[in-house]
Structure 1
Amino acid sequence: MAETRTTRPPRTKRPVRQLMAASVGNAVEWYDWYAYTFLAAYIADAVFPKGTGDSLVPLLSTFAVFAVGFFMRPVGGLVMGAVADRRGRRAALTVTILLMSGSSLLVGLTPTYASAGPVAPVVLVAARLLQGLSVGGEFAASTTFLVESAGPGRRGLFSSFQYVSTTAGQLVASGMATLLVDTLAERSMDGWGWRVPFWFGGLLSLVGFWIRRGAQETRSDEQRRAPRPGLFEALRRHPRASLLIAGITAGGTLAYYTWTSYLPTYAELNAGVAKSDALLAGTVSLAFFGLLQPLGGLLSDRFGRRPLLLFFGLGFALLCVPLLHALDGSFAVLLVVQMAGMVLLTGFTSVSAAVNAEVFPPRVRAAGIGFPYSLAVALFGGTAPYVGTLFKQWGHAGLFPWYVAALCLLSSLVYLRLPETAHRPLHR
């Protein structure tokens, strides 16, 4: 009897507290990450020179730095995932939020190009690299932590809080950006206003750190006693699972970052929507999106993960082009387009964490999720704003919706062959 108690996974006595520990910290992490996206135009004016005479060049430079941060995420997913598998999920979550606090403050303190010359973009790149390391590790650790904290038949519901909290952070970032744009004069916004969200984010990260210190570890006693896995053990021993996660993620991450991050900029560049209207539509649709996530998680616990993934993938493959082509410059049309996309997107986001965690065994679960997921996000999600803006600069903005639709169709082929894992016990 004693041996049985030491080898079984720890019971989560306070599931609500576990959700809070993961969700609050995750929200803070993503608030810091997305504040950069919503304020990209102001950062471009402050940090990058305008010597070419092309107004899109600074914005392209800013989105290029956005993409650079994404390419640090696979490193964070691998390294911090290994920390979670070796030292525990809670230890990894503590490190990631401290990294995000420091990187957010660094973005807020980045000098302007006028005052520091080339040093300014160097500091910004360094800050984004740290943010990428933190966010890549955050997804690996928090996904594992959330799903392992769930009771029987509730993994989908718990996993949906990955994007509930992500959306909450994004919503606060969008709301703050909207408030600053609407209340500050353009000169103040260009000078110091864009820095305020990053200073605030650095302080919020410390609050998240304090909350996470009280979380319960989800690794079993058996895992703690077992030899520590190697850094690349998940890739070496589970190559098919790694490829599966990359295929599941590719279309979903491109659609996600297009709809939740890039669409306001896309609407400004291609449909003439006012900047304040674009930010407001993004904020309203994000609130709607966050409310949908638990519903998607509950549906997946009852009917399975695969039906929701196919709803997303085939829905986007068929509707992405007509939805984006429907934008006509009005606030109402933009809001309808965004909310329609959010409904479809929920089929992916509400189950993503559960599907990923159910693919790998517990010994290498965090690192196994972190690297292929973050690599797919870097290749397709992180480059979405840059690719969309680049199509615009080349004079072929209409090709971008087809690019999103095609990748979602390819991911749908993966979903069709995906084994259903919703009603199987989670490997401990």
Structure 2
Amino acid sequence: MTQAYTAAEKRSRIRGIIGAASGNLVEWFDFYIYAVFAVYFTKALTAPSMDSTYQSIYVWGVFAASFFMRPIGSWLFGRIADKHGRKKSMVISIILMAISSFLFACLPTYEQVGMLAPFLLLMVRLLQGLSVGGEYGAVATYMSELGLKGQRGFFSSFQYVTLTGGQLLASLLGVILLAAMTEQQLLDGGWRIPFVIGGISAIISLLARSRLEETLNHEDSDKEESGTLRELFKNHWKTFLLVVGYTSAGSLSFYVITVYSKTYLTNLGISSQTVGFIMTICIFILMVAQPIFGMLSDRIGRRTSMLAFSGLMAIFIYPVMAVGMPYFSGSPIIVALLLIFLMMILSFYTSISGIVKAEMFPPHVRALGVGFSYAVGNALFGGSAPSVALQFKAAGIENTFFVYVIIMLIICFLCSFKLPKEPEYLQDDH
């Protein structure tokens, strides 16, 4: 049955989608500026007596540690979202990100407080990881529930538009500040500026989120088991494992293609500047493609999209990455086209990443189920992708890493057959 909407209802829902998406953009922008500006605050926040390699290892170890705060964040904010409302969860999440960004900008240097500096760096970064961990489940749930019937794939795709958009904006800010300031000025304290900008952006997003409409009804929130891990693992553990199954391959593929490929291409002898240009263009195209693939999923179904992603990626990732890119490494244009090809296959997954999870769980544990399953799969397989790939390379069997990716994709392909074509509980609006 087709759902009819008045013009006012459509405007209200679209405003809600924009409000949720804008906050997601800010959250990921704040999260990624750490990676962009790490090279400038490493020396200021670590012991000068340490070798530069160990300084970098610590700073990037802190980055990795933030991934393991995501399951905690997804549990905490998932419970809030399922028990007290999606809006409240998203508002608290963006407030926490604003606070952590401003705290980051105010971090004392090692010269000022000694060993307390690297410890405070870790604490503030863990706060950011907690915030981002809570963001994914609440936003994916909210967008799936607010999206117009028959167009939920399209509207939900904007979650990854803003996720990749945050990554692009962080990179762009790095280019702008490096053009406006000298490298020494950034080292001397200019690295604080992006975190101030991030904090201000979060406050602006907070104003937009404070006006969102709530999608969780009282019947679901009043249930005693709403938002509890006990309910999730007692009655929905099969769904949880299923979602972790295809999230693991999706996150692994995402980080291989958008993060590790930068290192991979550099190791092929392509200059860092050229690789940076290739990645910027390709990620921009990936971002723009999300709504198109989201609309496609509304036509062909989520299961078909997931089967297309896992099946095609399993077939093409080895010949493209292990054979094609090394062979055409002398032609940046062909390398870029090969990377774009993989990103288009990836888009079958990323465009529906949130909604395909949300459609698997009932409302009273939806935000928790979506966020926690994503956080677990992402922490175990997604965030670890670059380091695992480098370990394969160190062992002299780098191409075997892609076999590992293929195995995970085959698992995802089999899990995708279990996806319902159109879940009954999402046929009607909440």
Give TM-score scaled by structure 1 length. Answer: 0.88
Distance in 1 of aligned mates of 2:269 and 2:246: 34
Q: Comparing 284-293 with 227-236, which one deviates more in the overlay?
A: 227-236
Counterpart amino acid of 2:233?
Answer: L
- Contact 1:67–1:378 (8 Å) recurs in 2: no
254-263 or 184-193: which moved more?
Answer: 184-193
- Please give the alpha-carbon distance, in whole angstroms, between the structure 1 residues aligned to 2:40 and 2:399: 26
Shift of 1:369: 1.3
One-letter code aligned to 1:348: Y
Q: Retained in 2: the 8 A contact 1:77–1:137? A: yes
Q: Which residue of 2 aligns with 1:376?
A: 377
Q: Which residue in the other structure is 1:367 paired with?
A: 368
Q: Within 5 Å, which residues of 2 pair with 1:141-160?
A: 141-160=138-157
CA–CA distance in structure 1, aligned partners of residues 146 and 401 of structure 2: 39
DSSP 3-state at the match of 1:218: coil
Residue 77 of structure 2 corresponds to residue 75 of structure 1: no
Cα offset for 1:118?
3.3
Q: Percent identity?
A: 36
Partner of 1:161: 158
The farther-off stretch of 304-313 and 102-111 is: 102-111
Which of 274, 278, 287 lines up with 2:275 in the alignment? Answer: 278
Q: CA deviation at 1:271?
A: 2.6
Residues 108-163 of structure 1: CA deviation (Å, up to 9, x unaligned): 33445565543333222212211111111111111111011022212211211111
Instruction: Say whether the 8 Å CA contact 1:253–1:377 is kept in structure 2.
Output: yes
CA deviation vs aligned residue, 1:354-404 (integer Å, no higher than 9, x gap)? 111111111111112111111111111122233334445555544443333
Residue in structure 2 matched with residue 7 of structure 1 by the alignment: none
Q: Does 1:385 align with 2:376?
A: no
Task: Please give the per-residue CA displacement for 1:192-233, whole angstroms capped at 9, x wherever unaligned.
Answer: 344332221111000110110111111124334444625312
User: Residues of 2 paired with 1:30 and 1:19: CA distance?
Assistant: 17
Which of 260, 285, 289 is equivalent to 1:292? 289
Among 298, 302, 305, the alignment partner of 2:302 is 305
Return the alpha-carbon distance in structure 1 between the equivalents of residues 405 and 110 of structure 2: 34
User: Residues 192 and 317 from structure 1, CA distance in 2 versus in 1: closer, same or farther, beyond 3 angstroms?
Assistant: farther
> Which residue of 2 is the match for residue 190 of structure 1?
187
Answer with 65-74 or 324-333: which moved more.
324-333
| Structure 1, 228-237 or 42-51: larger mean CA deviation | 42-51
Sort the Cα spacing of 1:83 and 1:122 in 2 relative to 1 into closer, same or farther, 3 A.
same
Give the partner amino acid of 1:385.
P
CA distance in 1, matches of 2:278, 2:387: 21
**How many angstroms does 1:92 deviate by?**
0.3
SS at structure 2 position matched to 1:14 = helix
Partner Cα distance (1:182, 1:400) in 2? 38
The answer as to whether partners of 1:273 and 1:330 remain within 8 angstroms in 2 is: no
Correspondence 1:124 to 2:141: no
Using the TM superposition, name which of 190-199 and 235-244 deviates more: 190-199
User: 2:420 is paired with a residue of what secondary structure?
Assistant: coil
1:263 corresponds in structure 2 to 261
Mapped partners of 1:87, 1:384: distance in 2: 35
Report the residue type matching 1:186 in the other structure.
E
Q: Give yes or no for contact 1:297–1:351 (8 Å, CA) kept in 2.
A: yes
| 1:413 maps to 2:411 | no
In structure 1, C-alpha distance between the alignment counterparts of 2:417 and 2:156, rounded to whole Å: 21
Offset, 1:250: 0.3
For residues 114 and 336 of structure 2, the distance between their equivalents in structure 1, rounded to whole angstroms, comes to: 39
Unaligned runs of 5+ in 1: 1-10
Does the Cα contact within 8 Å between 1:266 and 1:388 map onto a contact in 2? Answer: no
**Consecutive unaligned residues in structure 2, runs of 5 or more:** 1-8
CA RMSD of aligned residues (A): 2.7
TM-score (norm 2): 0.88
The equivalences for 1:195-206 within 5 A come to: 195-206=192-203
- Structure 1 position 250 matched with structure 2 position 248: yes
Alignment coverage as a number of residue pairs: 416
Deviation at 1:64, TM superposition (A): 2.4
SS in 2 for 1:359: coil
Between the aligned partners of 1:205 and 1:317, the Cα distance in structure 2 is: 38
Separation (CA, whole Å) in 1 of partners of 2:361 and 2:311: 26
Question: Aligned residue for 1:207?
Answer: 204
Aligned to 1:25: 23
